[in-house]
């Protein structure tokens, strides 16, 4: 795990201290899914009593009374760990998110309260990279349109002409653990691969047969752009009207990282104008605030949440947009890592 609240990876002594705390403290698991419960009921290590308690609720939906004695919190991406939520957990020592992304944790607020924050830096690199190419191929070969036609008994090929990925230029924004796996697959498929990263590694580029490029050059030259950067203040809406205008006409945009990397209004405009050839999205902006539309209407959801739902509705009604429900990590192998 990476200890981002302190701005570095934890030293062995820190990990030992965390482990020692975990023995004496009860861990509270939030947002548990069936696979989480299965892991808790059949643990791979000895659990000391009292061991844990769990809830399917997001942290922010749990009562003050139930949060008052939480010392170790295990959360997922829907739980908000803000300064306000930290105030409700005066005993908190450690918060661990069962995800690679950690933008739902206010690291500055954790630092101020001497709360250690950890994530899982690597468990689904191959899994997410494979899903990324699943989205690419679905768009490049118009698989959704073909599937819907054949279900209606229409086996015509009109309008289903796709294109090969071989020989095309793939632009990978963020050459970290996942981005490098995407690069490897792209090279294996015969694609020319460009990568943008704030910390380029020349030796890797030589060995893996890709090139580093400035972001503007990558956008201008790529037939497919795939995003693999964390959500930070400087990366929020990095794909906006200006950057979309720099992309090749007809290019594809793939996002399996974080929804807020893309300005959704700008994306809709680029799709409507035909400048963008298509988008494959495993994440969308504001996804944590929306659920079933009928339930939202019945509960008189906030205006901001309804606005996000309207954007999602608009995206879903583009034939050249494929949206999956933040499931790029979701394979049997990744869940067991």
Residues annotated as part of the active site: 258, 287, 326
Dist CA 135 CA 252 (whole Å)? 10
CA 16 to each of CA 3, 12, 20: distance values in angstroms, whole numbers, following the listed order: 13, 6, 6
CB crowding 96-112: b at 16 or more within 10 Å, else e: bbbbbbbbbbbbebbee
Dist CA 305 CA 282 (whole Å)? 19
Judged on CB neighbours under 10 Å (0-12, 13-18, 19+), 298 is: exposed
* Residue 3 tokens, joined: 């200890």
Answer for the pair 214, 196: CB distance below 8 angstroms, yes or no. Answer: yes
Dist CA 160 CA 145 (whole Å)? 8
Q: Please state, as a whole number, how many other Cβ atoms lie within 10 Å of the Cβ of residue 158.
A: 7
């Amino acid at each position: 795990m990476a200890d981002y609240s302190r701005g570095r990876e934890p030293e062995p002594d820190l990990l030992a201290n965390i482990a020692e705390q975990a023995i004496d403290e009860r861990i509270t698991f939030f947002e548990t899914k069936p696979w989480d419960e299965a892991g808790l009921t059949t643990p791979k290590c000895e659990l000391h009593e009292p061991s844990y308690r769990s809830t399917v609720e997001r942290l922010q939906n749990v009562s003050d009374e139930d949060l008052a004695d939480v010392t170790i919190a295990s959360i997922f991406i829907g739980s908000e760990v803000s300064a306000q939520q930290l105030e409700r957990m005066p005993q908190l020592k450690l918060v661990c998110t069962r995800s690679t992304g950690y933008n739902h944790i206010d690291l500055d607020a954790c630092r101020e309260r001497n709360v250690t924050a950890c994530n899982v830096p690597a468990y689904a690199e191959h899994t997410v990279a494979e899903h990324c190419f699943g989205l690419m191929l679905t768009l490049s070969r118009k698989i959704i349109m073909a599937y819907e036609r054949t279900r209606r008994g229409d086996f015509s090929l009109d309008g289903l002409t796709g294109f090969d990925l071989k020989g095309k230029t793939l632009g990978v924004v963020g050459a970290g653990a996942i981005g490098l796996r995407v690069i490897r697959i792209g090279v294996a498929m015969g694609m020319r691969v460009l990568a943008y990263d704030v910390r380029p590694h020349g030796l890797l580029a030589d060995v893996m047969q890709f090139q580093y490029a400035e972001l503007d050059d990558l956008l201008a030259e790529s037939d497919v752009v795939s995003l693999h950067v964390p959500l930070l203040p400087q990366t929020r809406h990095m794909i906006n009207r200006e950057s979309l205008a720099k992309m090749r006409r007809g290019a594809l945009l793939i996002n399996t990282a974080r929804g807020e990397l893309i300005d959704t209004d700008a994306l809709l405009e680029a799709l409507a104008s035909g400048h963008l050839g298509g988008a494959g999205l495993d994440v969308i902006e504001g996804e944590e605030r929306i659920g079933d539309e009928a339930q939202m209407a019945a509960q008189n959801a906030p205006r901001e949440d309804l606005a996000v739902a309207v954007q999602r509705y608009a995206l879903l009604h583009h034939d050249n947009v494929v949206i999956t429900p933040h499931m790029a990590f979701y394979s049997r192998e990744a869940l067991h890592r």
